[in-house]
C-alpha cells in the first residue's frame, strides 16, 4: 500500500471518528435535555393542577386562565388527584398502570417521576388544611419522539455529507503533503554519476522537508567532491606513474637495440634506478596516505606539548639545512602549560608539521617561514606562514587531491602528496587543517588540534 493511500485512510478514519464522537455526544445530550425539559413541563402542570383543583382563593381563576392561554396541552395529557386518607395504592397503581413503588416513593419524598414507554408521569404529594393529596400528571413526550426523529435524520444527513467532505479533504491533504515528496523523489531519480551537479530545490518546502533536503544536498556536495577527487586522483596518478615507467621502458629499449659500451649500460642503469626510486617513493607515499586515511588504524597516542614538538621540528630542519629561516613565534603562548598539552602520535604529527614547513621553505626559495602558536579553548592552533609563490585562488579546492600540484609549481620538485597526507594526520587527531593564501603572496597553513583527544 502506498504512503499516499495510507495517509488518506488515516486522515479519513481520524476525522470520521471525530465526527461520530461529536454526533453521539450531541445526540445523547439533546435526548437527555428533552427528558429533563419534559419533566419540568409535567411538574409545572402538576403544581398548577393541585392549586386549581384543591385551593379556594381568587388566584385560582387567574391560574386557570393562564393555563388555558399559555400552557399547551400535551399529547394524551391526563390529571389524577387522590386523597391520602381514602387512597388504595393497589387500585390507584392499576388504574394508572404504574408500580405501587412509584406512588409510595412520591408520598415519602413529595415529588417523583416515572417513565413507561414514551409516557411520562410526574406525581407530587401536597398538604392542605382539608387533607393530604397525591396529584399525578401524565402525557406522551411529543417533543422527544418528534425532535429525536428530526435530530436523527439531521445527524445522519450531516454524517453522510461529512463523509464525502472528509474523503475529498483527506485526498486533497494527502496530495498536498505527498506532492513535495514526489517532486523530491523525481529529482533524486534524475541524479546520477553523470549528473552529480544537480541539486534538490529547497524553496517552498515544509520545514522538516527543507531540513531533509538541505542534508541531502550537503551529502551530494560531498559525493560530488569525492567523485571529482577520484577523477583527479586517477588522472594525476596515471600521469605521475606513467612518467617514470615511460623513462624506464625507454631506457631499457634503447639499451637493447644493439650492443653498446659498458659505460653506456652503466648510465642507462643509473637512469632506470633513479626513475625506479621516484616510482617507489610515489608508491610508498600513496600507501602511507591510504593508511592515514583509514581511521581504524591502531595508533599509539601519548601526552605531547605542542611548543616542544615545534622545537623538535625546527631542529630537524636545522640538521638538514642550517641556513633555513624558520622562525618560531611564541608571543601568544597561553598562561598555563596544560593549555599546550595534547594527546597525539608524535611521529605522525612531526611528519605533518615538517611537510608543511618544508613546503614553506621550498616554495619561498628559503625565505622566512613564521610558525606561531595560539590558543582558543578547546583547541591549540599552529599557524605556518610563508612568503612564497602562493596558490592560485581557483585551485585551492583541489589541493588535497593526491598528486595534484598547483599550476605555478612547475619549477619545483614534488609529488603532490604532502598536503593530503598532512590533512589525514590532522584528522586522525580530530583536528582541522586550513590553507589560505596571503594578500602579499605566500600561504598560511592553520592546524587546529583539540587539547584533549578522547
- In the chain, what is the straight-line distance between the N-terminal and C-terminal CA atoms, in Å? 47
What average pLDDT does the chain have? 78
If DSSP codes are grouped into helix, strand and coil, which group holds residue 39?
helix
pLDDT at 185 (0 to 100): 75
Decide if 34 contacts 144 (C-beta within 8 A).
Answer: yes
Question: Minimum mean pLDDT among 184-188, 243-247, 293-297, 407-411: which range?
Answer: 293-297
| pLDDT tens sequence across 42-93 | 787 777 777 777 665 545 555 455 555 445 677 787 888 888 877 788 888 8
Count the Cβ atoms, other than its own, within 10 Å of residue 213. 19
Supply 419's cell numbers: 598536503
DSSP at 99: -
pLDDT at 293 (0 to 100): 53
HSE-CB of 430 using CA atoms within 13 angstroms? 11
If DSSP codes are grouped into helix, strand and coil, which group holds residue 42?
helix
207-256 and 262-292 helices cross at what angle (nearest 10)? 170
pLDDT tops 90 at residue 446 = yes
- The stretch 359-387 carries a mean pLDDT of 88
302-450 shares the fold of 3-148: no
Confidence label for 240 from pLDDT (cuts 50, 70 and 90)? low
Supply 246's cell numbers: 615511460
pLDDT at 23 (0 to 100): 79
Fold of the 207-292 domain: Helix Hairpins (1.10.287)
Distance CA 33, CA 148 (A): 11
pLDDT tops 80 at residue 443 = yes
pLDDT at 220 (0 to 100): 78
All residues at 6 or more sequence positions from 97 whose CB lies less than 8 Å from its CB, including other chains = 116
Q: What does residue 346 show for φ and ψ, rounded to 5 degrees?
A: -60, -45
All residues at 6 or more sequence positions from 294 whose CB lies less than 8 Å from its CB, including other chains = none
Distance CA 120, CA 77 (A): 10
| CATH classification number, 3-148, choose in 3.30.420, 1.10.10, 3.30.450, 1.10.1740 | 3.30.450
| pLDDT tens sequence across 252-282 | 888 888 888 888 888 888 888 887 887 776 6
| pLDDT tens sequence across 160-214 | 888 888 777 777 777 777 677 777 777 777 777 667 677 777 777 776 777 878 8
Supply 13's cell numbers: 478514519
Decide if 330 contacts 373 (C-beta within 8 A).
Answer: yes
CATH class of the domain at 302-450: alpha beta
If DSSP codes are grouped into helix, strand and coil, which group holds residue 94?
helix
Confidence label for 453 from pLDDT (cuts 50, 70 and 90)? very low
For the chain, the domains span: 3-148, 207-292, 302-450
Supply 194's cell numbers: 553523470
pLDDT at 187 (0 to 100): 77
pTM: 0.47
HSE-CB of 451 using CA atoms within 13 angstroms? 14
pLDDT tops 70 at residue 347 = yes
Amino acid at each position: 500500500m502506498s504512503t499516499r493511500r495510507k495517509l488518506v485512510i488515516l486522515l479519513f478514519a481520524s476525522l470520521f471518528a471525530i465526527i461520530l464522537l461529536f454526533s453521539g455526544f450531541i445526540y445523547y445530550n439533546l435526548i437527555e435535555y428533552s427528558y429533563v425539559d419534559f419533566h419540568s413541563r409535567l411538574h409545572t402542570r402538576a403544581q398548577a393542577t393541585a392549586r386549581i383543583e384543591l385551593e379556594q382563593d381568587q388566584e385560582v381563576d387567574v391560574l386557570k386562565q393562564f393555563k388555558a392561554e399559555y400552557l399547551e396541552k400535551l399529547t394524551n395529557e391526563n390529571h389524577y388527584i387522590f386523597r391520602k386518607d381514602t387512597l388504595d395504592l393497589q387500585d390507584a397503581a392499576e388504574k394508572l398502570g404504574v408500580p405501587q413503588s412509584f406512588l409510595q416513593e412520591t408520598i415519602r419524598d413529595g415529588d417523583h417521576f416515572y417513565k413507561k414507554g414514551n409516557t411520562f408521569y410526574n406525581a407530587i404529594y401536597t398538604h392542605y388544611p382539608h387533607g393530604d393529596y397525591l396529584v399525578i400528571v401524565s402525557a406522551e413526550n411529543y417533543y422527544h419522539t418528534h425532535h429525536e426523529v428530526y435530530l436523527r435524520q439531521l445527524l445522519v444527513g450531516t454524517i453522510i455529507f461529512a463523509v464525502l467532505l472528509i474523503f475529498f479533504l483527506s485526498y486533497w491533504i494527502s496530495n498536498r503533503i505527498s506532492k513535495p515528496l514526489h517532486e523530491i523523489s523525481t529529482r533524486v531519480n534524475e541524479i546520477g554519476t553523470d549528473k552529480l551537479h544537480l541539486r534538490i530545490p529547497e524553496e517552498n518546502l515544509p520545514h522538516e522537508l527543507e531540513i531533509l533536503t538541505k542534508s541531502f544536498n550537503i551529502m551530494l556536495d560531498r559525493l560530488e567532491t569525492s567523485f571529482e577527487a577520484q577523477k583527479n586522483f586517477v588522472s594525476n596518478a596515471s600521469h605521475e606513474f606513467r612518467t617514470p615507467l615511460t623513462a624506464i621502458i625507454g631506457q631499457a629499449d634503447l639499451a637493447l637495440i644493439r650492443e653498446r659500451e659498458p659505460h653506456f649500460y652503466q648510465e642507462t642503469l643509473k637512469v632506470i634506478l633513479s626513475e625506479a626510486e621516484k616510482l617507489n617513493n610515489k608508491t610508498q607515499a600513496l600507501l602511507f596516505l591510504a593508511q592515514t586515511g583509514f581511521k581504524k588504524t591502531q595508533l599509539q597516542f601519548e601526552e605531547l606539548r605542542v611548543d616542544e614538538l615545534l622545537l623538535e621540528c625546527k631542529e630537524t630542519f636545522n640538521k638538514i639545512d642550517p641556513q633555513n629561516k624558520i622562525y618560531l613565534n611564541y608571543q601568544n603562548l597561553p598562561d598555563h602549560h596544560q593549555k599546550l598539552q595534547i594527546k597525539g602520535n608524535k611521529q605522525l604529527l612531526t611528519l605533518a608539521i615538517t611537510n608543511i614547513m618544508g613546503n614553506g621553505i621550498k616554495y619561498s626559495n628559503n625565505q622566512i617561514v613564521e610558525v606561531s602558536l595560539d590558543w582558543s579553548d578547546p583547541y591549540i592552533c599552529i599557524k605556518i606562514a610563508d612568503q612564497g609563490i602562493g596558490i592560485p585562488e581557483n585551485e585551492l579546492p583541489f589541493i588535497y587531491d593526491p598528486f595534484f600540484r598547483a599550476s605555478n609549481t612547475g619549477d619545483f620538485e614534488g609529488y603532490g602528496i604532502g598536503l593530503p597526507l598532512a590533512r589525514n594526520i590532522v584528522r586522525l587527531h580530530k583536528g582541522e587543517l586550513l590553507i589560505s593564501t596571503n594578500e602579499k603572496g605566500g600561504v598560511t597553513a592553520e592546524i587546529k588540534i583539540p587539547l584533549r583527544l578522547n
